[in-house]
Amino acid sequence: MVDILHISASPKGERSTSERMATAFLEAYAQTHPDDVIRRLNVFEAELPDFGKLHAEAKFAPYFQEDLTPEHLAAWAPVLELIAAFDKADKIVISCPMWNYSVPWRLKLYLDCLVQPGRTFGYDPAKMLHIGLLRNRPVQLLLTRSSTMPGDPNDFQLPYLKFIMTSIGLADVRALSAWQTTKYTPEERAAYVARFEGEAREAASTF
Ligand SMILES: Cc1cc2nc3c(=O)[nH]c(=O)nc-3n(C[C@H](O)[C@H](O)[C@H](O)COP(=O)(O)O)c2cc1C
């Protein structure tokens, strides 16, 4: 059984373009992989660890050879659960709007929990490089943005997500970006979004 984790980063539900792309992608995928299990995590709806002082201390405690207090351990447990739930997946789908050239803050919070030394990435002192510790698996990014075109030097959404996934070991990152999502009349926009839903369905055929 193949386990798919869909991480959704728009709070807009059915009105979300990235969510619509993900629905098109996953429906097409499910048609050809009926036995696979699709888990969904919307970062605006899920309870995520409120990453703060205790978490930042726990993150680097092994480096400073510090013991974790019961308070640290209690704060850290949901972070480890989040990593385990991610690592359980055989394939990852991330649907995500651009917010101020980057990703919405709730997805950043999720990634701040996911990316942990000794758990998801390590360090090779000889090469002075971070190395991913998770097994490689396919990641499909389904991204939306309004005026920031793919390839724009101020695009910190696609390059960031690609880099973060690669940095923890997931190097097979595919991306589909829809842009100018706010430009048209409702009718024009429907046709425009349908075009990206079609591209999402096509991307699903090789996922
Ligand atoms: C808080 C916020 C910030 C945004 N920042 C950008 C931006 O920097 N560049 C851009 O092209 N679009 C930006 N947008 C527009 C969204 O990326 C665009 O409307 C996208 O299609 C929304 O996707 P969704 O419907 O899946 O939520 C922003 C939207 C919001 C709500």
pLDDT digits (tens, 9 = 90+) for 88-111: 999 999 999 999 999 999 999 999
Task: Among 15, 43, 146, 158, say which to mutate for ligand 1: greatest number of ligand atoms within 8 Å of CB.
Answer: 146
The domain 3-204 having CATH identifier 3.40.50.360: the answer here is: yes
Could you give the residue ranges of the DSSP H alpha helices within the chain?
17-32, 53-60, 70-87, 105-114, 158-167, 186-204
The pair of three-digit structure tokens given for residue 6, joined into one six-digit string: 């869909």
Give the tens place of pLDDT for each residue, 3-19.
Answer: 999 999 999 999 999 99
Nearest to 168 by CA among 144, 142, 143, 139: 139
Query: DSSP state, 16?
Result: -
196 phi, psi to nearest 5 deg: -75, -30
User: Which atom of ligand 1 sits closest to the CA of residue 98?
Assistant: 17
**How far, in Å, CA of 65 to CA of 35, rounded?**
46
Give the tens place of pLDDT for each residue, 40-81.
Answer: 999 999 999 999 999 999 999 988 889 999 999 999 999 999
Give the tens place of pLDDT for each residue, 113-144.
Answer: 999 999 999 988 888 888 999 999 999 999 99
The residue contributing the CA closest to ligand 1 atom 1 is 99
pLDDT at 193: 85
Region for 169 from its dihedrals, namely left if φ exceeds 0, alpha if ψ lies in -120 to 50, beta otherwise: left
Q: Does 8 contact ligand 1 (Cβ within 6 A)?
A: no
Whether residue 185 is predicted with pLDDT greater than 90 in this model: the reply is no
Rg (C-alpha) for the chain, rounded Å, is: 18
Averaged pLDDT for residues 29-34: 96
Averaged pLDDT for residues 20-41: 97
The pair of three-digit structure tokens given for residue 102, joined into one six-digit string: 């980057």
The residue contributing the CA closest to ligand 1 atom 19 is 146
User: Which atom of ligand 1 sits closest to the CA of residue 178?
Assistant: 21
Question: Which amino acid, 68?
Answer: L
**How far, in Å, CA of 91 to CA of 95, rounded?**
13
Q: Does 99 contact ligand 1 (Cβ within 6 A)?
A: yes
pLDDT at 199: 93
**How far, in Å, CA of 130 to CA of 169, rounded?**
10
pLDDT at 205: 95
Averaged pLDDT for residues 175-202: 88
pLDDT at 110: 98
How far from the centroid of its chain's Cα atoms is residue 151's Cα? 19
Collapsed DSSP state (helix, strand, coil) of residue 5: strand
Collapsed DSSP state (helix, strand, coil) of residue 164: helix
Whether residue 37 is predicted with pLDDT greater than 90 in this model: the reply is yes
Q: Does 96 contact ligand 1 (Cβ within 6 A)?
A: no
Domain ranges across the chain: 3-204
Beta bridge partners of 131: 122
